[in-house]
Amino acid sequence: MVYTSTLSLFRQIRDEIKPIYGHEADMLAMFIVEDVSGFNSTDILVDNKFQTGPNFRYTISKYILQLKRQEPIQYILGKAYFYENMYEVNESTLIPRPETEELVKLVLDYSPESLPIKVLDIGTGSGCIAITIALNLPNAMVDGLDISMSALTVAIRNAEKLGAEVNFFKADIFDFKSTKKYDVIISNPPYVRESEKKLMSANVVEYEPVKALFVPDSDPLKFYKCIAEFAKESLSAKGAIFLEVNEAFANDVAKLLEAGDFHRIEILKDINGKDRFVYGLKGDKVLQE
């Protein structure tokens, strides 16, 4: 049996990737060692040993090479945390962001746990939004749609693993019509302008799904226009819409909702103080009223 030193392994990975990542190298190396050893950071730093198999060194070399190529650590390990749960992710799905956790919390705070409601997540990706809502609102009936079948396959696996009841289905929001009336519509659609690519890190631009991130500079609100029109027809009388937005266009998205006869429209800031969320009601009363 072969045993490996967690601390030595941590130092090896950190030192090899530090020229690229600088101070982030410690964090990334720790994620790798935690994953392959099963130990937490404290156990690693006191140099616990763990048993390794014949292909272990090959696996570590592959991880280091992927990091040097600036592949996201979430794709390398195939998982990411969201709202205290672990989700499978791959290059068919966006990596969940902390800002989107804030978007979900807005919906959870708005929706009473005891009230049966229908929720639609547009552009569900890994399913993290829809699944989190289903897990925290046991009386909610949650749907999640996406145009990508490969993303939906991941979402279905995540729901099964976490024990969440979500109806996932393939649809293009630009031609989707629903016979249901939803009480909540939530979406984190593509909102990064093509011209903003140069401001983003390589591990995002080169690896995350382009269709889930970018919109043309000539029509940056294309998804919001479509979603607002869909919501106008498919929300219930007391229905609400929650959107994550590009901070540069929060006011424009709010005006779209206003033009669609939504009420009580608010622009809300994220934890970094950026205009990140837009909320509106179809009628003039909330669900609890």
CA–CA gap between residue 205 and residue 216 (Å, rounded): 15
d(CA 202, CA 109): 35
Q: What percent of the chain clears pLDDT 90, i.e. is strictly above it?
A: 82
CATH of the domain at 252: 3.40.50.150
Residues 64 and 157 in one domain: no
Residues 147 and 270 in one domain: yes
The residue-averaged pLDDT of 35-50 equals 94
Question: Would you state the pLDDT for residue 205?
Answer: 73
- On whether both 113 and 223 belong to a single domain, the answer is yes
| Domains: count for the chain | 2
Domain assignment present for 106: yes
Residue pair 94/123 in contact by the 8 Å Cβ criterion: no
3 state SS for the chain = CEEEEHHHHHHHHHHHHHHHHCCHHHHHHHHHHHHHHCCCHHHHHCCCEEEECCCHHHHHHHHHHHHHCCCCHHHHHCEEEECCEEEECCCCCCCCCHHHHHHHHHHHHHCCCCCCEEEEEECCCCCHHHHHHHHHCCCEEEEEEECCHHHHHHHHHHHHHHCCCEEEEECCCCCCCCCCCEEEEEECCCCEEHHHHHHCCHHHHCCCCHHHCEECCCCCCHHHHHHHHHHHHHEEEEEEEEEECCHHHHHHHHHHHHHCCCEEEEEEECCCCCEEEEEEECCCCCCCC
| Amino acid residing at 93 | T
Residue 139 shares a structural domain with residue 244: yes
Pair 125, 259 in one domain: yes
Asked if 259 and 228 sit in the same domain, the reply is yes
Residue of higher predicted confidence among 289 and 149: 149
Task: Report whether pLDDT(289) > 60.
Answer: no
Q: What is the pLDDT of residue 288?
A: 66
Residue 235 domain flag: yes
pLDDT value at residue 210: 77
Statement to judge: residues 24 and 95 lie in one domain: no
Over its C-alpha atoms, the chain yields an Rg (Å, rounded) of 21
Confidence band for 287, pLDDT divided at 50, 70 and 90: low
**Quick one: tokens of 89?**
């992710």
CA distance 61 to 82: 28
62 shares a domain with 133: no
234 & 131 share domain:
yes
**Shared-domain flag, residues 220 and 154:** yes
Residue 289, domain member (yes or no): no
Asked if 134 and 263 sit in the same domain, the reply is: yes
Q: Predicted confidence band at 1 (pLDDT cuts at 50, 70, 90)?
A: low
Is residue 81 domain-resident?
A: no
* Per-residue pLDDT tens over the stretch 114-152: 789 999 999 999 999 999 999 999 999 999 999 999 999
Name the residue range of residue 14's domain: 2-69
User: Are residue 123 and residue 213 in the same domain, yes or no?
Assistant: yes
pLDDT computed for residue 212 by the predictor? 81
Mean pLDDT of all residues in 165-177: 96
